[in-house]
Chains A and B, each alone.
Chain A
Amino acid sequence: MSAYLVRRIIGVIPTVLGIATIIFFLMYLIPGDPVRVILGQHGDAETRLRITREMGLDQPIIVQYGYFLKNLATGDLGTSYRNNQKVADILLDRMPATLLLAITSVLLSVCLGMLCGIFAAVRQNKIGDVLIMILSLIGISTPVFWLGLLLILIFASKGFDGSPVLFGILPVSGYGEPGLDRLRHLILPALSLSAVSIGYIARMTRSSILEVIRQDYIRTAAAKGLPYSRIILKHALRNALIPVITIVGLNFAGLLGGAVATETVFSWPGIGKVVVDAIRQLDGPVVVGGVMLLAFVFVIVNLIVDITYSVIDPRIRLERD
């Protein structure tokens, strides 16, 4: 097991390196002058030269790349063009909000998605199954940001006179105070962010259970006279779990991307919001740093998913050892 762990963790390094390299060269290849962004229209030639030197932009590309990697390895993501703050500090400050939103959404989508999937599988081709499958397809096809706006319209919006448009019982946006208020602010963003994942997980759970249910050991369990609920929950679900976990991991990328949109719609002060604000202010280092951080989180989550497989299904670990 430990050999497997070590190999998997080492295997992450080329991926992270690849992401960093691609982003660096994109920044380099695509025209745009950071010195100009910092100075604006003003600034004489001398200041311009000084800042170019300070930022190391007069060095050859390969040297710049080396510095970029070195800084990255020490957790230095550069300095914001706008307010001279360390990018890493800005991002770390916003990390808890994004994590809260992402983790709530994952939990919500796993619970609801699997519940719907199991229900649909058990009632295959009956009305409940068809309904859930249609709903999950709609969930997958609906743009996250639009769903967020719809939820705001239904549950939060108030007109000019302060009377609710429809229900108007939840806050429109913001982070709220810690405690119950935070929870009230969390409901709508988390719901809109998890809709897509709920759809994917429900579909995957259903098809995975339907596949497993035809196996001999299930028939054996049924022949032994075990109750149906026990067969489904204990024998079928456990073996149907691997594809479901894969989907959870793969979906996480979509979730992080969706978080960018959701945080913007709901003014949720997370990393996604920072990135979008930085895009509007042409603050390159913050955009790149934010994207790198989210990408890194994604890679780590997938690593955890891979390790989870090997815990659930020892064959995976043995196969490669």
Chain B
Amino acid sequence: MKQLWKEIRKSKLAVTGLLVVSILILTAALGPFFLHYDPYAIDLDLVIRHPYGPKSPSVDHPLGTDDLGRDLLSRIVYGSRVSLQVGILAMLIATCIGVTLGMLAGYFGGWLDLIITWLTDTAFAFPAALLAIAVMAIVPNPDIFWIFLVLGLIGWAGIARVVRGKVLSVKEEEYTQSARALGAGHIRIMIYHILPNCMAPIMVSATINIAGNILTEAWLSFLGLGAQPPTPSWGLMVTEGQAYLATHYWMCLFPGLAIAITVLGWNLLGDGLRDALDPRLKDV
């Protein structure tokens, strides 16, 4: 862990990413305690207020209000909880499936490897975004729960492939063989000897997976296939602002900016981790 921190500190990318991601997590965790407005509170006296500026000199609503008079800052801060939840939960599902399948395929080889590799290749050939649309269109009440389930069940292929490759090389290492010679069982070898050595690529894949999940959630919610009103989901907020684009741009601008910054942060962290953990790519 100490070693990891040392490597991360060397890369400007990783540090920037880590900073953005930390701020986001802090915002999601603590932000709501500092807000004056309920993100669901409708106030028809305050419909579509300008952000803080010459037209409405008030610090009350620094990002303005939406068409129902709800404070945009509050909604965006609460929205960070929604997007983090989806991003991380879906990542956990995908990582569990991916790591398990990748380990089994790489460790045991043979027909199991053939089947899992075929499965992975098929999942890769599958346009995941389209499948997500199909599923979300079919489920009776699309909401956040379905989104992270669907994203989790779709996103494992990349992780499985990376883990399989890594296991193939690790299982021939001397420490694995000595564990085997000492009589350790398959499961013990996989968990205690192989898994720790696969952590680097798993962490990189998982981080980038989170970025993708957040983007897909925003996109599904934008199409009306994800979070439902009045949930403060960023994608949904962009849809709600779409009708007011020409006259009240901030309803679209700020939620979208929040998505872009969040995804950028996770991508930066993922890239930085890869540079830090994979020495082969360092000079490239």
Listed in ascending order, the chain A residues whose CB lies under 8 Å from chain B are 14-15, 18-19, 22-23, 26-27, 30-32, 137-138, 140-146, 149-150, 152-153, 157-160, 165, 207, 210-211, 250, 253-254, 256-258, 260-261, 264-265, 275-276, 279-280, 284, 287-288, 291, 294-295, 298-299, 302
Contacts and interface: CB of A to CB of B under 8 A. Distances in A.
B195 interface: no
Nearest to A280: B224
Contact of A22 (B125, B131, B249): B131
Nearest to A206: B284
A198 to B, nearest CB: 15
B284 A149 contact: no
Contacts of A14: 122
Contacts of B135: 26, 30
A137 B129 contact: no
B133 A143 contact: no
Interface string B218-242: 1100111100000000010010001
A144 B259 CA distance: 11
A149 B245 contact: yes
Contact of A27 (B138, B140, B219): B138
A149 B223 contact: no
A157 B238 contact: no
28 contacts: A14-B122, A18-B126, A30-B135, A30-B138, A32-B140, A137-B264, A138-B260, A140-B263, A140-B267, A141-B263, A141-B264, A142-B256, A142-B260, A149-B242, A153-B245, A165-B246, A207-B284, A257-B128, A260-B129, A275-B133, A276-B224, A279-B224, A279-B225, A280-B224, A284-B137, A287-B134, A291-B133, A295-B126
B247 interface: yes
Given A141-B260, A142-B260, A253 B128 contact: yes
B246 A260 contact: no
Contact of B222 (A18, A23, A27, A145): A145
Contacts of B264: 137-138, 141
B130 A294 contact: yes
B139 interface: yes
B66 interface: no
B127 interface: yes
The 5 closest A-B pairs by CB, nearest first: A257-B129, A146-B256, A141-B264, A253-B127, A141-B263
A60 B268 CA distance: 51
A144 B130 contact: no
Interface residues of B, number: 44
Contacts of A276: 223-224
Contacts of A143: 215, 218-219, 222, 235, 238, 256, 259-260, 263
B252 interface: yes
Contacts of B247: 159-160
Given A159-B246, A211-B284, A299-B125, A257 B130 contact: yes
A15 B133 CA distance: 19
A117 to B, nearest CB: 13
Contacts of B71: none
Nearest to B267: A141
A269 B145 CA distance: 31
Contacts of B253: 150, 153
B147 interface: no
B211 interface: yes
B158 to A, nearest CB: 10
B157 to A, nearest CB: 11
A158 B256 CA distance: 21
Nearest to B265: A141
Contacts of A159: 246-247
A151 B259 CA distance: 17
